[in-house]
Amino acid sequence: MDAVESLGFYCDHRLYPLNSYENRVYQVGIENATPLIAKFYRPKRWSAAQIQAEHDATLALKKAGVDVAAPLLMRGKSLFEHQGFYFSLTPKVIGEAPEPGNLNQLFQIGELIGAMHQASRDWQIEQRPYLSAIQRIERACKVVLESSYLPKSMTPAYVQVVEQLLLRITQTLPSHQSNSIRFIHGDCHRSNIIAHDDAMTLLDFDDCRMGYAVQDLWLHVSDANERRAQLSELIEGYESQCDFDSRELDLIDAMMAERTLVYTAWIAERWLDPAFPIIFPHFISEEFWRQHIQDLNDILVKWGQWR
């Protein structure tokens, strides 16, 4: 409340923590006004310049008519500091996450992502550069192997499946041109979209970066048995706003492997945060790691079935 009131607002003492493991996000009641969303950034994760690049991108998208939740501008600033923490304020968007597998909503999601990509088609965000799946996987693997959480008995199986995945990715990436890399949301799952009044609003650009368009689409496929129908709706909606290169579908397996590995390394890196053992108590069990290795092997087995 002190941080919010330092910008001239008056809080009504209604504070609600929102789901956010990486940062700390609160809905803050404001006297005689709509609540604000206050986002406090995890220290040392992003520099001020990188956070500002995120803000500038969302503000530019909003100006271009794309339905995104952009931070408030006050006296020409969107990023503020209070007691050593960077924070921002965003107007509350009322609604709920889209329903998994709803084909009509998948078309709308495709439209929204296509509009975002079309508006940002010529952008180059130097503060958020492209990192290949290989680079991100190698870093994640290093984090896991240097931690004490992976059982030693499972280390050989983990290393083996990671090496096999890296080989497949190495064989896949060269056929995709670097000039297809564009600005992307980077973490575009359904919890970062709000459906309201027959419209969709895209939230939380914390992981925005340069990448391939399909990265923002594939996370909305919620059922492997229905993936062709779901992808069809997503792409049809997308192409109503922006061209899509269907060859990028071959990258989804690499992106699945990357996300699975990076997610586990992320928990390992954050384990000393008091919230993480509470949220992920199974992380230190052998069953978690057995399932993790199985999930990686499943990606290998099903490789190349997205087209």
Angular region, 83: left φ>0, alpha ψ -120 to 50, beta rest: left
| Cβ(297)–Cβ(161) below 8 Å | yes
Structure-token pair, residue 302: 């099903």
State how far the alpha carbon of 239 is from the alpha carbons of 86, 119, 176, 198, in Å: 37, 13, 20, 19
pLDDT in tens, 23-36: 999 999 999 999 99
**Predicted local confidence at residue 160, as pLDDT:** 98
* Domains (range + CATH), the chain: 2-91 (3.30.200.70), 103-301 (3.90.1200.10)
Closest to 241 in 3D by CA, of 123, 120, 62, 122: 120
Could you tell me the pLDDT band of residue 292, with boundaries at 50, 70 and 90?
very high
H or E stretch covering 86: strand 85-91
DSSP 138: H
pLDDT in tens, 104-117: 999 999 999 999 99
16: phi then psi, degrees, rounded to nearest 5: -130, 120
Using CA atoms, how far apart are residues 24 and 83, in angstroms rounded to an integer? 15
Is the pLDDT assigned to residue 5 strictly greater than 90? yes
For every residue of 190-213, DSSP letters joined together read: GGGEEEETTEEEE---TT-EEE-G
| Cβ(53)–Cβ(127) below 8 Å | yes
H or E stretch covering 141: helix 133-146
Is the pLDDT assigned to residue 179 strictly greater than 90? no
| Cβ(244)–Cβ(162) below 8 Å | no
Residue 41: burial class (beta carbons within 10 Å; 0-12, 13-18, 19+): buried
303 alpha carbon, distance to own chain's centre: 23
Amino acid at 187: D
Closest to 211 in 3D by CA, of 191, 185, 188, 182: 182
Percent of residues in the chain assigned helix, strand, coil, to nearest 5: 50, 15, 35
**Predicted local confidence at residue 296, as pLDDT:** 98
pLDDT in tens, 121-134: 999 999 999 999 99
Amino acid at 12: D
Could you tell me the pLDDT band of residue 39, with boundaries at 50, 70 and 90?
very high
2 catalytically annotated: no
Cβ neighbour number for residue 160 with a 10 Å cutoff: 13
Catalytic option among 204, 206, 216, 253: 204
User: What's the predicted TM-score (pTM) here?
Assistant: 0.94
Is the pLDDT assigned to residue 293 strictly greater than 90? yes
Using CA atoms, how far apart are residues 204 and 186, in angstroms rounded to an integer? 10
Catalytic option among 67, 187, 206, 216: 187
| Cβ(38)–Cβ(3) below 8 Å | yes
